[in-house]
Amino acid sequence: VRAIWDGLRLRFRSGRPVSAPDWFIQALPPVALDGELWGGRESFDAVSGTVRSDKAADARWRALRLMVFDLPGAPGDFASRTALMAELANASHATVWAPVEQSR
């Protein structure tokens, strides 16, 4: 499920807020991220149900990660932004988000 983190709030691409647990939000960096809330292959229905619920189900959220495609507004070309994503993830010891490249 596509999602955008603006550094303060997690939202769907439509702009509607995602009701994520506080611990998930607090683990995201203070920079904008564009990505997808992901729970594994063939899990779209479960992920969609979890993230579209108005009440964050903590146990279900523990299985999700924000897989990041890009850093909106960051300077440089895509290769530079990809390198910056990796640096941010490594520095923060990210557990709830990761650049898509690191997931392979």
User: Which one, of 61, 74, 62, lies nearest residue 7 by Cα?
Assistant: 74
What is the strand order of the sheet 2-5 is part of? 10-12, 2-5, 33-38, 65-70, 97-99
Query: In 3-state terms, what secondary structure has residue 4?
Result: strand
For residue range 17-42, what is the model confidence (pLDDT) as tens digits? 999 999 999 999 999 999 999 999 99
What number is the average pLDDT over the span 84-97?
Answer: 86
Which residue pairs from 9-17 have beta carbons closer than 8 angstroms and sit at least 24 positions apart in sequence?
Answer: 10/66
pTM: 0.85
What is the number of other CB atoms lying within 10 angstroms of the CB of residue 10?
19
